[in-house]
Structure 1
Amino acid sequence: MTREDDMKASAEAEAEEADSPQVKLRCLLLAQGYNAILRFGRMFRIADDDGSRTLNMEELTEAINNFGIDFSEVEIAEVFNAMDEDGTGSVNYDEFLNKLRPEMNEDRVAVVEEAFAVLDESGDGVVTLEDVKDKYDASGHPSVLSGDATEDDILTKFLGRFEGATKEDGTVTKEEFLDYYSGISKSIDEDEYFIEVIKKCWKL
């Protein structure tokens, strides 16, 4: 099994023991892979036609159903109400995703942000798929190091994940970058190893 497979199995088991619908939702998303939270967030960003950066109960329900997550109306309402702290009937979806994303400590966030900054040479907060292709080194990926995949396998899979999530606008934001790497972070216990993986992948 790969690290991602282990993470999926662990997340599914953790969902059974979750002490809140919010934690259960996070676990069930992670059970679908490293990039599940990235894809979940992308659905909201694409649907935000008016640029309000907000999410209502109907949109959350639709997203959860589209992901095939078996949540009751009560559980969805509990998740939404926990996020809607001011009771307006809408929540900022970036804040929502920040709370949903698996926590990374400061050192892990710092190295991921450093990697993003290398890609985002213009400093405008977005990178294109071509930027990623030119600068990503797959040799340090856990699956390559363990012999479960080749560098070409990982590069193709990695780019495919971002392409599948960003084909609407051809860009990757820093939030999406963090969403993706939060899933990988969840599967790696050792801080030093995680940081080493990111630095080698992005030639930092």
Structure 2
Amino acid sequence: MAGTARHDREMAIQAKKKLTTATDPIERLRLQCLARGSAGIKGLGRVFRIMDDDNNRTLDFKEFMKGLNDYAVVMEKEEVEELFQRFDKDGNGTIDFNEFLLTLRPPMSRARKEVIMQAFRKLDKTGDGVITIEDLREVYNAKHHPKYQNGEWSEEQVFRKFLDNFDSPYDKDGLVSKRA
């Protein structure tokens, strides 16, 4: 765990350094999130889900501005307007939440993508491009989880929490599929 904390600190320091010279609004927003550590983008996503009062997975400009403000993102209004226009792909005055997060995440290195694909292929027992709950159940051992060991959770609760990392919050189909 110490390695993860150290990596988080290093990432935050690098993001803060790059932020001083970044001019692209999307890059500036990404760096402000990364300056908070590995959970920075996820935290902004959480703020936006809270802002989405009607649960339609979109934000209008007012909600977008409030979300950035609530998350203490420092940007000029003109930058926020440009950001909104760039995220509003179809020009309908709203931002799709998933598209927003996908655009905001930093690109993955080729080496990391290959490691992920190797793990995916290993877990995809049938080779059909889909990992099922049964596939994961065969390889995941809940007995090493601290909450199972202290009796707080059952094996099934630990496994469910593990699955939540892979399932979309809006489409809990119990499947993990490969996307390019």
For this structure pair, what is the TM-score category when the shorter chain's length is used for normalisation?
A: 0.5 to 0.7
* Other-structure match for 1:53: 57
Instruction: Extract unaligned runs of 5+ from structure 1.
Output: 124-131, 138-151, 153-170, 177-204
In structure 2, the residue matched to 1:102 is: 106
2: CA distance, partners of 1:88 / 1:40: 22
CA distance 1:33–1:94, shift in 2 (3 Å): same
Residues 136, 72 of structure 1: CA spacing in aligned structure 2 closer, same or farther, 3 A cutoff? farther
Q: How does 1:54-203 map to 2 (within 5 A)?
A: 54-105=58-109, 107-109=111-113, 111-112=115-116, 114=119, 122=133, 134=142, 171-174=164-167
Query: In 2, distance between residues paired with 1:64 and 1:70?
Result: 8
Q: 10, 23, 33: which one pairs with 1:6?
A: 10
* Structure 1 position 106, deviation (Å): 5.2
Alpha-carbon separation, structure 2, partners of 1:136 and 1:34: 24
Residue identity opposite 1:18 in structure 2: A
2:73 alignment partner AA:
I
Aligned partner of residue 19 in structure 1, secondary structure: coil
Q: Secondary structure of 1:102's match?
A: coil
Task: Decide which moves more: 72-81 or 44-53.
Answer: 44-53
Q: Shift in Å at residue 107 of structure 1?
A: 5.0
The structure number with the bigger radius of gyration is: 2
Q: In the TM superposition, what is the alpha-carbon distance from 1:48 to its structure 2 partner? A: 3.1
Instruction: Render the CA deviation track for 1:8-40: whole Å, top value 9, x for unaligned.
Output: 111011111113111000001100111011111
8 Å CA contact 2:8, 2:37 repeated in 1: yes
Shift in CA distance, 61/4, structure 1 to aligned 2, threshold 3 Å: same
Select which of 5, 27, 32 maps to 1:28: 32
Q: Give the distance between the partners of 1:91 and 1:31, measured in 2 at CA.
A: 24
**Greater relative CO, 1 or 2 (CA 8 Å, sep 6+):** 1
Pairwise CA RMSD of aligned residues? 3.5
Q: Gapped runs of 5+ residues in structure 2?
A: 124-130, 135-139, 147-163, 170-180
TM-score (norm 2): 0.61
- 3-state DSSP class of the match of 1:55? strand
2:20 and 2:67 mapped to 1: Cα distance? 21
Residue 133 of structure 2 aligns to a residue whose secondary structure is coil
**Structure 1 counterpart of 2:82, one-letter code:** E
What amino acid sits opposite 2:56 in the alignment?
Answer: S
The percent of aligned pairs where both chains have the same amino acid is 30
Question: C-alpha distance in 1, partners of 2:114/2:57?
Answer: 25
Q: Which amino acid aligns with 1:52?
A: N
